[in-house]
A and B are shown apart, each in its own frame.
Chain A
Amino acid sequence: MLASDNGQSTMNFALSDEQQMIVDTVRSFVENELYPHEAEVERTGKVSPELGQSIAAKCKEIGFFAANMPEEFGGGGLNHLDFTLLERELGRASMALSVYFGRPSGILVACEGEQRERYLLPAIAGEKFDALAMSEPDAGSDVRGMKCNAREDGSDWVVNGSKHFISHADIADFVIVFVATGEEETSRGPKKKISCFLVDRGTPGFEIRTGYESVSHRGYHNSILNFDNCRLPGTQMLGEPHRGFELANRWLRATRLTVATMSVGRARRVLDLAVPYCVERKQFGQSIGKFQGISFKLADMITEIDAADWLTLSAAWRVDRDLPCNREIASAKLYATEMLARVTDEALQIFGGMGLMSDLPLERFWRDARVERIWDGTSEIQRHIISRELLRPLES
């Protein structure tokens, strides 16, 4: 499926007809099926299971469920660029609702043997929801510092420890969990070996607890996972023993693109609200857009949004071509999330006092923007990745 290979030229900034249709369809889905429920989610802080299931069912009906997963397993088979365009439109809506527009973790493609029937295929068919667990109270940016561990016992593994900030684990049927499985000596000191497991909700010794109240993304919940001598057969391991970190690194690229492109989508929605307001709102006898103090804000907003958009799309394009892309993805994630913070803040300023009131969605976008600079690698971690790539070739 090559919706993006529309032109002869190697550099073509136009969308193909197919890409345009993907964008139009997702935009219209978001506007008709998600926007109408946003106020309710903000008010109640939750999405009813019936509503969530109905969104997922509609998404399945139009063949967009698991659009990111390979066609051979029943997914939509979109490449990273086309999927990034899709998620950009999805990013306009509340995360609590858009999470039901099914996008299983790409990492599940690593499923082998009967894992495919038990996890990969049901996730793609929308029969099972997954969540992914990495962070711990004492292991945030320092992922390798994780304390949650598994020790081998015959052909089983016994897991102990806890995870937190686990997004949408409250609605997950199974969780993809990274744990330490030993330590190895390296030239730079001891390093933890990491492995990855698939853990079903309801497994004895495994508990999913309500997490913290977050300022961002009301209704999109985080959970705390506790493992107390949780015994897992060896067949629950995803990928090779002790190779979980490599698996995670490969997969984390996609989630950073997701954060970047959804930030771009949300910023465009905010701009779409701010521009007409600058024309309609009159002060001192004229539209506030006539004042340079306001109009220049709009100029900066659109310029930064476009820059983040192209940075993100070009990073996705590089992934599809197997070009080096770690630095580019980090740049996109860094810039798009920081852009969103500035754009939501300026939009709120344009709306003045009303912008702070929950009668308008501006305060929500402003709150929601805050987490984007933190999760899936903080801005500081992204800057570390970017600068390391610049300096390393010269340092050895």
Chain B
Amino acid sequence: MDKILVGLKRVVDYNVRVRVKSDGSGVETDGVKMSINPFDEIALEEALRIKERGDANEVIVVSIGNNDAQQQLRTGLAMGADRAILVETANHVDSLTGARVFKALIDRENPDLVILGKQAIDDDNSQTGQMLAALWNRPQATFASNLSIVGQKATVTREVDVGLEIVEVDLPAVITVDLRMNEPRYVKLPDIMKAKKKPLDQVLLGDLNIEEATGIKQVVFEPPSERQKGAMVDDVAGLVAALKDKGLI
């Protein structure tokens, strides 16, 4: 195949304890370590392995957000992506808008495969890949833990509630990846220096002629309520009595 498109979302690093802003308008990001969404890093690793096996010519990484997301794209380039596209916007991007942006880029780039993380660890929606497949009218295989490509077909192992499901999809397709698919590589020192010279195109979201979704409004952010202190019971009988007492059984 020719091209693989990979999404890299800039999110609060998974090691950071997330705090809600005091005015409830969002999550604190000032002075907070930001990283590539871990599932997206796995998506990129998979795309790079496909390319290294000789099954693809080019890996393009895409991010949607403000100028700071360049940092995540540069990291993607240092990992081995060939070029990057930053779709700039200061607005919050919900799943549908994200999917529309990817659809607009697909129309420009004609990729054979789009690999995304199964969800972003900030809003945990797990929707963009599925919406994109619908907009594009192409097959989707979500929560992938293994992927092999032969000709114009991809065989995908999916992690589902009852176990592993193996599906075959025709390319082009959208694949979203799960945690156990691979272990992303370390960035190599010489590649860090080369990343600076790789192309990074910037496009304004407004210039893509897409409709920004307005169906979802973020009203207020609140930290989850603190967990109630638990109580120790002596034995099973005590547990049953406590559950009955609370009307739970």
Residues on A lying within 8 angstroms of B by beta carbon are: 1, 3, 17-18, 20-22, 24-25, 28-29, 61-64, 67, 76, 78
Contacts and interface: CB of A to CB of B under 8 A. Distances in A.
A63 B188 CA distance: 5
Contacts of B169: none
A67 B74 contact: no
Contacts of B190: 63, 76
Interface in B168-191: 185-191
Nearest to B35: A24
Given A3-B192, A3-B193, A63-B191, A21 B186 contact: no
Given A21-B75, A25-B189, 20 more contacts: A3-B192, A17-B75, A18-B192, A18-B196, A21-B74, A21-B195, A22-B189, A22-B192, A24-B75, A24-B187, A25-B186, A28-B186, A61-B188, A62-B186, A62-B187, A63-B188, A63-B189, A64-B188, A76-B189, A76-B190
Contacts of A61: 188
A67 B189 contact: yes
B112 to A, nearest CB: 29
Contacts of A78: 189
- Nearest first, the 4 A-B pairs at minimum CB distance are A63-B189, A63-B188, A17-B74, A62-B186
Given A20-B71, A21-B78, A1 B187 contact: no
Contacts of B192: 3, 18, 21-22, 25
Interface residues of B, number: 17
Contacts of B185: 62
A25 B35 CA distance: 12
A62 B189 contact: yes
Contacts of B63: none
Nearest to A33: B186
Interface of B: 35, 70-71, 74-75, 78, 185-193, 195-196
Nearest to B71: A17
A67 B78 CA distance: 17
A86 to B, nearest CB: 9
A25 B195 CA distance: 14
A214 to B, nearest CB: 31
* Residue among B71, B186, B196 with the highest chain A CB neighbour number at 10 A: B186
A18 B77 CA distance: 11
Contact of B188 (A3, A20, A24, A62): A62
A296 B68 CA distance: 34
A16 to B, nearest CB: 9
27 contacts: A3-B192, A17-B74, A17-B75, A17-B195, A17-B196, A18-B74, A18-B193, A18-B195, A18-B196, A20-B71, A21-B75, A21-B78, A21-B192, A22-B192, A24-B35, A25-B186, A25-B187, A25-B192, A28-B186, A61-B188, A62-B187, A63-B188, A63-B191, A64-B188, A64-B189, A67-B189, A78-B189
Contacts of B195: 17-18, 21
Nearest to A75: B189
Contacts of A17: 70-71, 74-75, 195-196
Contacts of B191: 63
Nearest to B78: A21
Given A21-B74, A21-B78, A1 B188 contact: no
B186 A29 contact: yes
